[in-house]
Structure 1
Amino acid sequence: MARILMVASEGLPYIKSGGLADVIGSLPKELVKKGHEVRVVMPLYAPIARKFHDGFQLEAQYTVSISYHEVPVNIWSQMQGDVKFYFVEHKGYFERDNLYGYMDDGERFAYFQKAVIEMLNQLNYFPEIMHSHDWHTGMIPVMCKEGHSFDERYRNIKHVYTIHNLAYQGNFGAEMLDSCLGLDYRIFDNGNVRYDGGISFMKSGILYADKVTTVSPSYSQEILTPQYGEHMEMVLEMRRYDLWGITNGIDIESWNPKTDPEIPYHFNKVNVKKQKAANKMALQQEMGLQVNPDVMLVGVVSRLTWQKGFYLLMEKLHELCQMPIQLCVLGSGEERIEQEMAQLENGNKGKIVFYKGYNDSLAHRIYAASDLFLMPSLFEPCGISQLISMRYGTLPLVRETGGLRDTVNPYNEFEKSGNGFSFANYNSDELIGVLWNAIHVYYDCPQDWKMLVRNAMNTDVSWEASANTYCQLYAQLHP
């Protein structure tokens, strides 16, 4: 079994902006159960400092060179069960209003990665495998192999690099190589890290890691094509034989309708119909929807962005208002979509409700109360929401892309099979057609609906199978 250090820009239970945090919160726990020793390192953001700092232990203090200045680093730690979490503290870089989206993101995450590399030396802790996630950590394999190749302790580390979303690549000016990363321009000149005239953290991770993974088998194939490759398809093609697609799971202890402290009425496969109706009425009351246990409630918990398919929905708002459904939307994102959703609620009080922002507690209640969960993504590396919704007996309606295609089996009225609904093409007519079909099954074919709910709740959405695949991957690197 291996010593593994996961390097990521966010993770539960500390902080979350997307699906990466869910993975970091639950995969290490599952790997520990399988005998690995797993630690995690991430930046110390302001919300983490405010909430958790009192329970932290100081592990090390040192400096790293950024823009030709020695910049101080504090490393803190805390145990979460059997997983040790480290935090890289720098108030100027990380204690801000948001996690990402700043002009100096390249410098911030260059500092983070440099701090992590030196942390190994300071703590005299050298993992056998470093598992880096997304663009924020893409230079870790490069720094070990190019910047510390003279040191056997770094040279012996094997590297796994996971792409959670290829659309975000960490592309910056070439001058960062020397000033922030302390790397030789030779690797720019020979093309290893060069991308579009500058450097790319994502490309660098893909080329320098020993194995590359994505978060679903379908997505690992899609990104080799121009349609989904985000101009990286040629780079990925070079690593095709080291590219693994491993579907995410969810933490089935946190997401459990039998014990979830955030929902008013607990349920299992036996009493799901009755208790879901009770949860539905409670949510309708809470959100100002008309209280009616029989109406079909459609839930959305999502970032409201182009990627998530909301422009399809916006093309059909008039038709949506005519449907015999209620709609409950939780999320924030692009201003245009937020405005449309707010207007939609204003014109359809009691039928449509929009909660702007993210509220974890409310998300649990939407999953538990909804009959159908809408996820018409343009692309979806894996998707977590459809897994949670199935766990709660809420049928996902998805577009057949990436992890959505791998996890949702569409309803087949002839074979009486499926655990949700899906449509193939990114087309608003197809979306509405499938939504009408779901409405028909809900109201007119109650036995089929019951079968679909049972299948959804029987779907294995845990980390068990995926963690076994990660173990096989690690075993190839560390026999």
Structure 2
Amino acid sequence: MERILLVAAEGLPFVKSGGLADVIGSLPYEFKKKGYDVRVVLPMYRKIALNWRDKMTHLRSYTVSINYSETPVNLYYYILDGVTFYFIENAGYFEREGLYGYIDDGERFAYYQKAVLEMCNQLDYFPDIMHTHDWHTGMIPAMCKENYNHDPRYRHIKHVYTIHNLAYQGNFPVEMLEPCLGLGHYVFDNGNVRFDGGISFMKSGIVYADKVTTVSPSYAQEIKTPQYGEHLETVLRYREPDLCGIVNGIDINLWNPKTDNLIASNYSLTTYKKGKGKNKTELQKELGLTVDENVMLISVVSRLTWQKGIYLMIEQLFNICSQPIQLVVLGSGEAGLEEKLREAENANKGKVCFYCGYNEALSHKIYAASDLFLMPSLFEPCGISQLISMRYGTLPLVRETGGLRDTVHAYNEYTQEGNGFSFTNYNSNDMMHVLWEAIDVYYNRPDMWKQIVKNAMKTDVSWSTSAEFYLGVFREIAG
């Protein structure tokens, strides 16, 4: 096994809407460090075209059949730090304001997947492993095995399909099966891609891939149950022998308090207290909070959605704001949640700040300045934010679900093990009980707080170990 092709809908540094982009921006480089020929393919979105296309090289122009018409594909490539990135260009499909959420998303990503498979033929490049990610690429294993089964070059490819969030499945009408995907109706009739009367890109990836992974061991167990399985739990239990969970990592060079040039003061494990104090006071000045380096600063950097447990925080906002703390929230999402947070800021000037939207530089400052990071998710396949917060010595307070359970462990004062705080039940009173405990430790047991911070900053949040797990999966099927 030498050649690995990652196929995804987004990836840093080119474009990002969620945690998938962080994975695609980091994981290929770990494979490259270990000596593999790693390449990545992405759609050429408008943002990528505006910021990067002038730096790229045009490789090929070809066509794929969509709705029985030959639709043009322009293929570009760009080499970034030794990894080759391919880009599928079609302005009509991809050069739009957003990435997803359009009525023709099924057709757009059917086109993308067809273009990727034909790219292999055009370049005479056939990877040993094709690593596909989330619903946007879920039909690739099916199309490769059903439409190209006559070609030994395609039969050679082994498919690993990674589920980043089972809640987003790519469900579309059955009518697009043949004209857009080139698949016979029999794959619907036999149930391979059938879901709720239509077709599911996600289900197809689970059924047809040689191996299925998801982004934490706990989430791999959770999605086999009705509570978290999103009506695919039966299929996932069927694939259980080929299903495993591998925790995500983060780019430890990008997220490094020793070298981060976006924060006010760099610091390390031995200088974190002084560094955090400086970062805290600078952030307080910037956001209009009362300047006090000794006050406990609690932060949230998140999409404001039901999944992220923001409703638990909203239920307890009055109690949270009555504590001797400051609260900073960075994010956007549901209008009702945004409005509640604006009301909290207006009622607690100098104590609460809500920044609506996303600001990359501000997120770095918040991680560096905060003492506690609140992440009470209803479910969390893996989570990136808790890994970043630990890297910066900001203790995570999480609900024990998915990747949060696998990466954050409640501190045990007898063994001095543990790197944060956690609660089990999705209940705002349970969350507050643990929050009060964290506040008590911060103010009244500084030695214990110091030990937890040290444990958090020593936690391995890099990609190195996880990449080796992925390679183990690849080797198992590649032979």
Under TM normalisation by the shorter chain, which class is it? over 0.9
Partner residue of 1:314? 314
Partner residue of 1:402? 402
Unaligned runs of 5+ in 2: none
Partner residue of 1:139? 139
Matched letter for residue 51 of structure 2: K
2:58 aligned with 1:82, yes or no? no
SS in 2 for 1:468: helix
* Counterpart-to-counterpart distance in 2, 1:59 and 1:49: 15
Q: Identical aligned pairs, as a percentage?
A: 66
Matched letter for residue 167 of structure 1: A
Matched letter for residue 185 of structure 1: H
Matched letter for residue 226 of structure 1: P
SS in 1 for 2:410: coil
Aligned-pair CA distance for 1:329? 0.7
Aligned-pair CA distance for 1:264? 1.4
Aligned-pair CA distance for 1:356? 0.9
Partner residue of 1:120? 120
Aligned-pair CA distance for 1:394? 0.4
* Counterpart-to-counterpart distance in 2, 1:321 and 1:395: 19
Matched letter for residue 28 of structure 1: P
Aligned-pair CA distance for 1:413? 2.9
CA contact (8 A) 1:284 1:291 kept: yes
Partner residue of 1:463? 463
Aligned-pair CA distance for 1:415? 3.0
- Within a 5 Å distance, the mapping from 1:230-245 to structure 2 comes to 230-245=230-245
CA contact (8 A) 1:171 1:198 kept: yes
Partner residue of 2:268? 268
* Counterpart-to-counterpart distance in 1, 2:37 and 2:73: 25
2:431 aligned with 1:431, yes or no? yes
SS in 2 for 1:278: helix
Partner residue of 2:6? 6
Partner residue of 2:351? 351
Matched letter for residue 344 of structure 1: A
Partner residue of 2:337? 337
Aligned-pair CA distance for 1:355? 0.8
Aligned-pair CA distance for 1:416? 2.8
2:38 aligned with 1:38, yes or no? yes
* Counterpart-to-counterpart distance in 2, 1:152 and 1:203: 25
Stretch of structure 1 that moved more, 446-455 or 63-72:
63-72
Q: Give the aligned length.
A: 479
* Counterpart-to-counterpart distance in 1, 2:408 and 2:223: 20
* Counterpart-to-counterpart distance in 2, 1:258 and 1:423: 31
* Counterpart-to-counterpart distance in 1, 2:399 and 2:337: 19
CA contact (8 A) 1:2 1:478 kept: no
SS in 2 for 1:100: coil
Partner residue of 1:23? 23
Partner residue of 2:153? 153
Aligned-pair CA distance for 1:29? 0.2
- Within a 5 Å distance, the mapping from 1:378-457 to structure 2 comes to 378-457=378-457
* Counterpart-to-counterpart distance in 2, 1:347 and 1:91: 47
SS in 2 for 1:180: helix
Unaligned runs of 5+ in 1: none
CA contact (8 A) 1:216 1:402 kept: yes
SS in 1 for 2:269: coil
SS in 1 for 2:181: coil
CA contact (8 A) 1:250 1:461 kept: yes
Partner residue of 2:362? 362
Matched letter for residue 59 of structure 1: L
SS in 2 for 1:78: strand
Aligned-pair CA distance for 1:2? 2.1
Q: Cα deviation per residue 1:282-322 (whole Å; 9 max; x = unaligned)?
A: 11111111110000001111111000001111111111110
* Counterpart-to-counterpart distance in 1, 2:475 and 2:3: 12
Q: Supply the RMSD in Å over aligned alpha carbons.
A: 0.8
* Counterpart-to-counterpart distance in 2, 1:10 and 1:330: 22
SS in 2 for 1:38: strand
For normalisation by structure 2, the TM-score amounts to 0.99
* Counterpart-to-counterpart distance in 2, 1:320 and 1:177: 51
Matched letter for residue 430 of structure 1: D
SS in 2 for 1:212: strand
